Structure 1
Amino acid sequence: MIRHLGGFKFKDETTPEQIRYCFSELRAMVGQLPGLLKIEHGPHKSDEGLDEGLEHVFCMTFDSFESRDAYLPHPIHMERVELFGLYLERAIVLDFEPTPECTAAL
């Protein structure tokens, strides 16, 4: 499994309704894109001071790097990139493959 995660800082004028709409459209990709298993997201909640101004976080789970690679240029994804682009001031995205010891049952 591959984790595709990131953080967003929305423009000051972006409304909570617009943010909810963006994330509802993001969640709607599950079931539309092969290999996209799950999307989780929510507002950033930490007092560590290491967020560099990012306000919202997402984590997508793909079944493989191949599925993630197919997702990146996919028209459905590109529609979301355009949508979020209307409202975002900043975004970061990172990908990783959890090591076996991370995915083992506790």
Structure 2
Amino acid sequence: MKKILASGAFALMLCCSLLFSACQPSNTDHMRHIVVFKYKPDATATQIAEVTQAFGELKDKIPGIVAFEHGINNSPENKNLGFTHVYMLTFEDAASRDAYLPHPEHQKFGELLGRLGVLEDAFVVDYMPEME
């Protein structure tokens, strides 16, 4: 019986330890690269979906990208200045981001944007997260 209780206590401590570590802030060495697009009024949903898919595929084509996410602005503040689509890449570190910028696959993505001719404007913000 004592052996079972000791095993159960050990398992409980292990689970609590894993849960605690999973709740810790993400790696602060990761670089965030946020790109926000203002599409032209005549850009179609199909074209925007093509851009989004191609952007997301860079994660599997360029080393150092650990995550990709995207979404459409839904802020009620009306301060987006026409910029509607947000894309965020998370890089292992700043060096990975620096290698991504001239990478041939990133250049192909830029060529796709040019061919489609759907972007009116874009802005980019890069930062290293600071956890409090």
Gaps of 5+ in 1: 102-106
* Residue 120 of structure 2 corresponds to residue 98 of structure 1: no
Gaps of 5+ in 2: 1-29
Partner letter of residue 40 of structure 2? K
* Residue 61 of structure 2 corresponds to residue 65 of structure 1: no
* 1:44-81 alpha-carbon deviations (Å, 9 max, x no partner): 11111221110111111000100000000111001111
Partner letter of residue 107 of structure 2? M
Partner letter of residue 99 of structure 1? E
Tell me the distance in 2 between the aligned counterparts of 1:59 and 1:76. 17
RMSD: 1.0
| Deviating 4+ runs (over 6 angstroms) | none
Point out which structure has higher relative CO (alpha carbons under 8 A, 6+ apart). 1
Alignment of 1:43-58 (within 5 A): 43-58=72-87
Tell me the distance in 2 between the aligned counterparts of 1:83 and 1:47. 31
1:84 CA drift (Å):
2.1
Partner letter of residue 87 of structure 1? V
Name the larger-Rg structure: 2
Partner letter of residue 61 of structure 2? Q
1:100 CA drift (Å):
3.2
More strand by share: 1
Q: 1:26 aligns with which of 40, 55, 60?
A: 55
1:22 CA drift (Å):
0.7
Tell me the distance in 2 between the aligned counterparts of 1:94 and 1:84. 19
Partner letter of residue 68 of structure 1? R
1:32 CA drift (Å):
1.3
More helix by share: 2
> What is the match of residue 20 of structure 2?
none
Aligned to 2:60, the other structure's residue is in SS state coil
